[in-house]
Amino acid sequence: MADTVPVEISDWKPAPFATGETVFAIGDVHGCGRELKALLGAIGKAATEKGGQYRLIFLGDMIDRGPDNLGVLRQWAEAEATPGIGRVDRLMGNHEQLLLLLITDSPYAEKAEAKWRSESMGGEKVLEEMRQRVGDPDAEPSATLLTAALGEDAARKFYAMRSHVRLGNTVFVHAGLEPNADLDEYLARPWMSDSEATWAWIQKGFLDWKGGFGGTLVVHGHTPPPKHRALTGQSDPHLFQCDRLGLDGGSARTGYVTGAEIEAGRYRIFRAGTLMPNADI
């Protein structure tokens, strides 16, 4: 079928994960609904083949830039229906943080709006979709608009996003960790602050750090392949190295939405999509 989105699954690779359970994780989606649907289908098939019920973790940045942000959020909100998935954790990315700062009467709302609606961040696409959904071409970003566009269940889950999930020796987080920071203090920094929640934003200082994180392994998104390569020197951005595993495939800028299956001592990469012409990967 011409419209089928291909999904590539890598061979298993060794890594010292000790999460205590099998985990599926999905990196940045940025409104790429078709690719997310294909990836969830592949995850559901893999989970069903294993038997049992498994955990799925969304690493954040579901929205902005891509063509179907509301469709992505619908799939994100309904992911418990994926075959073989018994629990879903939804983490906050920097793009979700900006929208929440904008619609929750934060003292940083004006700054967040300017950044979120900029061409580089791509929030204007989400706003256009929400306006179309509610039938009001002039609607401004607000909590009321978000709930009307998403529905109460998805909106509730949007407000309830977490900063991280910690399983065994592994932390799942959107952007990464600050080396040598106290882990509990760092991950507890509130998203309501404009500057404290660097777990949703960090790149430099995390990806160019070679010294490990005190025995903690990090599974993250946020940094697409070109920026990842520039900071790490890795030709493959999805290779476990220096206690990190990155799952940002570039999504709306490359055509790839990336995930992983992680279990004791190993992982494999799931990549859904077709590379866009002239994409930097």
Helix H, strand E, coil C: the string for the chain is CCCCCCEEECCCEECCCCCCCCEEEECCCCCCHHHHHHHHHHHHHHHHHHCCCEEEEECCCCCCCCCCHHHHHHHHHCHHHCCCEEEEEEECCHHHHHHHHHHCCCCCHHHHHHHHCCCCCCHHHHHHHHHHHHCCCCCCCCHHHHHHHHCHHHHHHHHCCECEEEECCEEEECCCCCCCCCHHHHHCCCCCCCCCCHHHCCECECCCCCCCCCCCEEEECCCCHHHHHHHHCCCCCCCCECCEEECCCCHHHCCEEEEEEEECCEEEEEEEECCCCCCCC
CATH of domain 7-273: 3.60.21.10
> Does residue 2 have a pLDDT over 80?
no
15-40 in b/e form (b: 16+ CB < 10 A) is bebebeebbbbbbbbbbbbbbbbbbb
How much of the chain, in percent, has pLDDT values that exceed 90? 97
Beta-strand relationship, 266-273 and 7-9: antiparallel
Residues 167-219 pLDDT 10s = 999 999 999 999 999 999 999 999 999 899 999 999 999 999 999 999 999 99
β-partners of residue 88 are 56
> Does residue 281 have a pLDDT over 90?
no
pLDDT at 105: 84
Is the distance from CB of 4 to CB of 43 less than 8 angstroms? no
Residues 13-23 pLDDT 10s = 999 999 999 99
pLDDT at 36: 98
pLDDT at 44: 98
pLDDT at 9: 98
Q: Average pLDDT of the chain?
A: 97
Residues 48-106 pLDDT 10s = 999 999 999 999 999 999 999 999 999 999 999 999 999 999 999 999 999 999 999 89
Residues 119-140 pLDDT 10s = 999 999 999 999 999 999 999 9
Residue among 63, 18, 62, 20 at smallest CA distance from 40: 62
Is the distance from CB of 56 to CB of 26 less than 8 angstroms? yes
pTM over 0.95: yes
β-sheet with 217-220: strand ranges across: 164-167, 170-173, 217-220, 244-246
pLDDT at 1: 39
149-162 in b/e form (b: 16+ CB < 10 A) is bbeeebbebbeebe
pLDDT at 151: 98
Rounded mean pLDDT, 219-240: 97
Is the distance from CB of 262 to CB of 225 less than 8 angstroms? no
Residues 241-275 pLDDT 10s = 999 999 999 999 999 999 999 999 999 999 999 99
Domain-by-domain residue ranges, the chain? 7-273
Radius of gyration, alpha carbons of the chain: 18
| 259 token code pair | 């995930």
> Does residue 47 have a pLDDT over 90?
yes
